[in-house]
Structure 1
């Protein structure tokens, strides 16, 4: 499979991408339906972000589809002698090459934007969970900015590439300037993938660690069920962040190795995973599959609000005065009365006996 042609690798990438896109469509519309009909309130910024991720994913899928269809003629360019081809065929190849270069720039810009939104959302969640502490997100923001610079740096190179070849699309890539562009694009791509992976791994563990620290006393106070549900949320976040981060790292490694079948599979999955995992977590929270209604008060205004600490609830219940029927109990000798004073449960035989003795 490592000997697949360029167009065949793109077809393989498109196949895996559309496969996951089908799952993404189901998850997205299910989450929108549950948000609309569910009892849990989701903040509008979070809904808009989820919709934006889906729109970008859809545009990315369409872009890759058109790109792949056009690259079916790409192999002909390198396997056939252009001098022997008819003028009409060469003109078609030139047009396709121009569109390929343009769509490559569009695709890379959507990838950079999608990752910026998804990673920014993850940093915001971490910021809220850690009590809106800016120092905890200082490093993640720096990594996100560096990764975004690398991502949009790839887009700039794609645009330069397109402008240089728009009038000569069949121009062979040679010379120092071309080599410099290729080197910059490779470096920016690796930096973008590594930075995005680092952001996802760091954020996943920071959020998970904060949740575990917040509820570590739940099981000891008899909240074993709630504690387990928090752990399920933590495991989901770690697994989702780890899977996506692993796909980013694999993409960086396989990208360095050139166009291969393995790289195409990973890239096809990565395009959809960036939007699937945030939407999936929102769906599960809305359905109450990760935490109970009493555990997470709401998702409002783009922020996560947890319920009160169970330990405080227990202390409050122990110190709170219980209101109810007034009963006075006196412990006396066997010959004395057992009950004195008013009782809402009615007169007792002992009380009647006491009245008779008086």
Structure 2
């Protein structure tokens, strides 16, 4: 369990504002890459018949993810304007506004974080399922971890709107959320990478490797690098969370577009 939290209002206000700026910057990079990828995919004229069934749902799921992340970015800017610009907090300070959990934007902000994490995890598990030739047993453990994550997110959403126990009790659940998410991310990324490399070595041994070698290595590298960024962020978030540092809010905000980037890479 994390140590007793000692509030530092001034530092928290700076971290919340910095978090908004960081998420906006990372979102700008993600949105640019998404639009370029969307245009490229939409303009492709040749789609293999055996991948059409799998790629179509995934393509539309990525659009939904983009909409969720964009709405979260809107909420971030909306809250910053109302808290820091208009000073609508109970005592006029930004932090007093951000701590008013009965406000719809604060509720939506917290709920959307769990939705985006769960949706991104589901996409990665689905990709792993496809890569391994629709073998359910391969993704059994990731699915179990995913269900635990969903259960934690729902519990926190309910507690956030209607606290049914003390913060000390609910923090026991929160303590497990990020480590479980990290374990699932490492597991699914490792499974996908393992399958791609196994397929490459199989093709090499049978003499079927041609110009696809470069593209295969490139795809694997991009996928691993995008997942690595998310993994490093999770590690920092876990450290800051258990240290009770308000810097966790900055990393958490960067995590939102990174989840979407990991899912689409």
Fold conserved between structures, TM > 0.5: yes
SS at match of 2:162: helix
Q: What corresponds to 1:201 in structure 2?
A: 186
Query: How far apart, CA to CA, are the structure 1 residues paired with 2:172 and 2:46?
Result: 44
Which structure features the higher share of helix residues?
A: 2
| Aligned residue-pair number | 249
In the TM superposition, 1:277-316 aligns within 5 A as 277-279=262-264, 281=265
CA 66–256 in structure 1, closer or farther in 2 if over 3 Å, else same: farther
CA 108–93 in structure 1, closer or farther in 2 if over 3 Å, else same: closer
Query: How far apart, CA to CA, are the structure 2 residues paired with 1:206 and 1:245?
Result: 15
Asked whether the equivalents of residues 7 and 74 of structure 1 are also in contact (C-alpha less than 8 Å), the reply is: no
CA 100–248 in structure 1, closer or farther in 2 if over 3 Å, else same: farther
CA 65–259 in structure 1, closer or farther in 2 if over 3 Å, else same: farther
Q: Map Cα deviations across residues 104-145 of structure 1 (whole Å, 9 max, x no partner).
A: 321121111112211111111111221211111111100000
Give the TM-score normalised by the residue count of structure 2.
Answer: 0.82
Q: What corresponds to 1:246 in structure 2?
A: 232
Asked whether the equivalents of residues 130 and 136 of structure 1 are also in contact (C-alpha less than 8 Å), the reply is: yes
Q: What corresponds to 1:182 in structure 2?
A: 167
In the TM superposition, 1:85-104 aligns within 5 A as 98=100, 101-104=103-106
Larger Rg: 1
Q: What corresponds to 2:5 in structure 1?
A: none
Q: Map Cα deviations across residues 199-226 of structure 1 (whole Å, 9 max, x no partner).
A: 1110111011011111204345262642
Q: Map Cα deviations across residues 149-208 of structure 1 (whole Å, 9 max, x no partner).
A: 1122221111115xxxxxxxxxxxxxxx8xx53224433333222222211110111011
Deviates more, 1:65-74 or 1:15-24: 65-74
CA 265–10 in structure 1, closer or farther in 2 if over 3 Å, else same: same
Query: How far apart, CA to CA, are the structure 2 residues paired with 1:129 and 1:18?
Result: 33
Q: What corresponds to 1:305 in structure 2?
A: none
Which residue, 117, 121, 124 being the options, matches 1:122? 124
Query: How far apart, CA to CA, are the structure 2 residues paired with 1:237 and 1:15?
Result: 26
Query: How far apart, CA to CA, are the structure 2 residues paired with 1:250 and 1:185?
Result: 22
Q: What corresponds to 1:275 in structure 2?
A: 260
CA 44–218 in structure 1, closer or farther in 2 if over 3 Å, else same: closer
Q: Map Cα deviations across residues 297-342 of structure 1 (whole Å, 9 max, x no partner).
A: xxxxxxxxxxxxxxxxxxxxxxxxxxxxxxxxxxxxxxxxxxxxxx
Q: What corresponds to 2:71 in structure 1?
A: 59
Q: Map Cα deviations across residues 36-90 of structure 1 (whole Å, 9 max, x no partner).
A: 112343633122211111111111112122233344359984xxxxxxxxxxx79
What's the RMSD between the two structures over aligned residues?
A: 2.9
Asked whether the equivalents of residues 83 and 98 of structure 2 are also in contact (C-alpha less than 8 Å), the reply is: yes
Q: 1:103 offset after TM fit, Å? A: 2.8
Q: 1:239 offset after TM fit, Å? A: 2.0
Which residue, 217, 222, 228 being the options, matches 1:231? 217
Query: How far apart, CA to CA, are the structure 1 residues paired with 2:98 and 2:138?
Result: 48
- Which structure 2 residue ranges, 5 or more long, are not aligned? 1-7
- Which structure 1 residue ranges, 5 or more long, are not aligned? 78-88, 162-176, 282-358
Asked whether the equivalents of residues 22 and 250 of structure 2 are also in contact (C-alpha less than 8 Å), the reply is: yes
**1:7 correspondence with 2:7:** no
Give the TM-score normalised by the residue count of structure 1.
Answer: 0.62
